[in-house]
Amino acid sequence: MTNEELNEARTNPEFINYLEKTKEDAIKSKNISALYEVLDSLLILDLEQEKINTVYENILKISFENVEKIVNSGKKIVLENDELYYTRSFYEHAIEKWSYNDLKGAKELFFVLANVTDDEVLGDALNVHLVACSKEFDLDKFYDEKVNTNNMPVDEKYGYFITSFNFETKDFLEKNSEILKTEYTNLKYLLD
């Protein structure tokens, strides 16, 4: 969008009302994909932080409730439909914690997500994140030094996650297997 189009959208009362109605309906019906549509629009348009926070809080609430139901039923999350959005929200929350240097909180979320998601590419990437947090990497340093920003995800579903690195993922995980083993031992209580 051009700046002119952004300004037009920001000041279009019909569009703002549409976002507000969509937000209210999505919160009532617990429609996570609609909430993400609203959130992404609010972020692009750089609208009120309070509205952004309300939408994000509801996304997290819906995600945590539904992930708990899925896990308690003995299933794993697949990266399709609403479950992709649940995974996205967990991941974004973990990244947020990491960005605020809450390494313990980030490790817990990466660990849980790695163990409840049925996807090898994402699972390996989450384990890389877990190792990086264990080594107390700053998120910016990790991104600058370890993430391959030139490699676009092969599959669109990985677009929400950091899955491309400046090294072979399997080799990295093998070299750091003791760290990973220790973290899994320390965090396994989260899955009980």
CA 140 to chain centre: 16
Q: Domain check: are 150 and 183 in the same one? A: yes
In contact, 107 and 130? CB cutoff 8 Å: yes
Report the 10 Å Cβ neighbour count for 133.
26
Quick one: tokens of 87?
């995974």
Q: Domain check: are 80 and 61 in the same one? A: no
pLDDT tens-place string over residues 97-106:
999 999 999 9
Q: Domain check: are 60 and 122 in the same one? A: no
Q: Domain check: are 88 and 161 in the same one? A: yes
Give SS3 for 165. Answer: strand
Q: What is the pLDDT of residue 128?
A: 98
- What does DSSP assign to residue 75? -
Q: Domain check: are 41 and 52 in the same one? A: yes
pLDDT tens-place string over residues 28-62:
999 999 999 999 988 988 878 898 999 999 999 99
Q: Domain check: are 179 and 94 in the same one? A: yes
DSSP of 5-40: HHHHHHH-HHHHHHHHHHHHHHHHHT-HHHHHHHHH
Mean pLDDT of 77-86: 95
Q: Domain check: are 121 and 183 in the same one? A: yes
Q: What is the pLDDT of residue 131?
A: 97
Give the domain range for residue 67: 1-75
pLDDT tens-place string over residues 105-135:
999 999 999 999 999 999 999 999 999 999 9
Q: Domain check: are 116 and 184 in the same one? A: yes
Q: Domain check: are 49 and 92 in the same one? A: no
Q: Domain check: are 136 and 63 in the same one? A: no
Q: Domain check: are 174 and 89 in the same one? A: yes
Of 42, 75, 108, the residue at which a domain comes to its end is 75
Q: How many domains does the chain have?
A: 2
> Residue 90 above 90 pLDDT?
yes
Least confident of 2-16, 41-55, 76-90, 125-139: 2-16
Of 13, 40, 75, the residue at which a domain comes to its end is 75
Q: Domain check: are 116 and 157 in the same one? A: yes
Q: What is the pLDDT of residue 1?
A: 66
Average pLDDT, the chain: 92
Of 75, 101, 126, the residue at which a domain comes to its end is 75
In contact, 86 and 65? CB cutoff 8 Å: no
pLDDT tens-place string over residues 141-189:
999 999 998 887 678 899 999 999 999 999 999 999 999 999 999 999 9
HEC-encoded secondary structure of 109-127: HHHHHHHHECCHHHHHHHH
Quickly list H helices, 79-176: 81-99, 103-116, 120-134, 139-146, 169-175
CA dist 88 and 49 (Å) reads 20
Q: Which residues contact 183 (CB under 8 A, 6 or more apart)?
A: 107, 111, 130, 131, 134
**Global pTM value:** 0.89
* Amino acid in the structure at residue 31: N
Q: What is the pLDDT of residue 100?
A: 96
